[in-house]
């Protein structure tokens, strides 16, 4: 009888342990693999939001960088190949929605269950010693010698690359695109004179602009921008045709496998909601020229689906899509 009772207690204990295992996510540290380089916008945002989410979770979140591939595909493939148990997240941005049409991988973006922290408008800027003081001067030089002026805009298929392509199309100019593994190395290349111009976000460029290292020529949105007491004009005021391709907006954050268990999504969602509503995030966004998003799950998937359609068919229209978006099941916007 005693042996039987012991067996029942042991079985009950195992059952409770099994139940606890399912309910207690996370019970070990989480890793977030950022697909773009250290120091760029996606990396910076992920390190900030993960630090805030850690405060709401019983574990640490370690941020690493898995760069390279087409439109950040190396990092996405890396996380895709990890278990969908919520212990490996992918730090990504709107630029990753072009990976499939550029041949980086063969999946639609709904493979992910995303969380959007926010974004910042893109600028086209030059180094402090550049002879160009206006966007018109830069474009005129590009027209005079097509393909001769090197331009940095992160990796192929990034939002910065798409914005560069849109400027070329709208202004009827041609630059020499030089891809880098993220915004930070692209900006460093502009500072070093390796490239004549760089297209990255206001948030990423702000310290360099305020420090006098970069000269901003124009925003790539219909709105002008203010940084310090400096007004940055809009490229839309110069070229009428830009509204056919721009603006293309950022959506930076992270994601878990869409196939992850519901309790994983719920735990991450609860921590994300508390973090995004906190004073730290609000102050960080204001100080760093970001607009806060806060969407996640189905709402964020819907936003990314729209970005995927717009970006994929924009690339196709600009002649830079290697794969027909329709063949991937991406609907035309």
Q: What SS3 string covers 144-196?
A: HCCCCCEEECCCCCCHHHHHHHHHHHHHCCCCEEECCCCHHHHHHHHHHCCCC
Measure the CA–CA gap between 229 and 247, rounded to whole angstroms: 24
Task: Specify which residues 178 forms β-bridges with.
Answer: 152
Measure the CA–CA gap between 310 and 315, rounded to whole angstroms: 9
DSSP 234: B
- What pLDDT is attached to residue 241? 76
Measure the CA–CA gap between 273 and 278, rounded to whole angstroms: 9
Rounded (to 5) percent helix, strand, coil in the chain: 45, 20, 35
- What pLDDT is attached to residue 183? 86
- What pLDDT is attached to residue 240? 79
- What pLDDT is attached to residue 15? 45
Please report, in tens digits, the pLDDT of each residue of the chain (333 residues total). 444 444 444 444 444 444 444 568 999 999 999 999 898 889 999 999 999 999 999 999 999 999 999 889 999 999 999 999 999 999 999 889 999 999 999 999 999 999 999 988 899 999 999 999 999 999 999 999 999 999 999 777 678 888 898 899 889 999 999 988 788 899 999 999 999 999 999 988 999 999 999 999 999 989 898 898 899 999 998 887 788 777 777 899 999 999 999 999 999 999 999 999 999 999 999 888 888 999 999 999 999 998 899 888 878 877 888 999 999 999 998
């Amino acid at each position: 009888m005693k042996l039987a009772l012991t067996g029942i207690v042991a079985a009950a204990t195992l059952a409770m342990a099994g139940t606890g295992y399912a309910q207690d996510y996370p019970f070990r540290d989480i890793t977030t693999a950022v697909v773009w380089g250290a120091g760029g916008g996606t990396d910076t945002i992920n390190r900030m939001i993960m630090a805030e989410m850690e405060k709401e979770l019983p574990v640490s979140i370690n941020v690493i960088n898995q760069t390279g591939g087409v439109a950040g595909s190396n990092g996405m493939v890396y996380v895709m190949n990890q278990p969908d148990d919520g212990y490996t997240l992918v730090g990504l941005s709107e630029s990753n929605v072009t990976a499939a049409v550029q041949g980086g991988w063969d999946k639609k973006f709904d493979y992910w269950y995303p969380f959007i922290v926010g974004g910042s408008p893109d600028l086209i800027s030059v180094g402090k010693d550049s002879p160009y003081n206006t966007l018109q001067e830069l474009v005129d030089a590009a027209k005079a010698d097509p393909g001769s002026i090197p331009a940095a805009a992160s990796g192929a298929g990034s939002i910065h690359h798409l914005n560069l392509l849109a400027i070329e199309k709208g202004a009827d100019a041609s630059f020499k695109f030089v891809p880098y593994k993220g915004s930070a190395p692209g900006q460093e290349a502009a500072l070093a004179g390796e490239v004549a111009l760089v297209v990255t976000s206001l948030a990423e460029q702000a310290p360099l602009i305020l420090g006098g290292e970069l000269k901003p020529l124009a925003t790539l949105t219909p709105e002008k921008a203010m940084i310090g007491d400096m007004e940055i004009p809009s490229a839309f005021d110069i070229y009428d045709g830009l509204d056919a391709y721009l603006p293309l907006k950022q959506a930076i954050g992270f994601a878990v496998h869409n196939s992850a268990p519901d309790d994983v999504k719920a735990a991450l969602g609860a921590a994300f909601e508390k973090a995004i509503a906190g004073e730290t995030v609000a102050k960080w966004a204001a100080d760093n020229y970001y607009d806060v998003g806060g969407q996640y799950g189905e709402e964020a998937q819907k936003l990314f689906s729209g970005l995927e359609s717009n970006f994929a068919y924009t690339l196709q229209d600009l002649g830079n899509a290697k794969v027909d978006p329709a063949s991937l099941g991406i609907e035309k916007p």
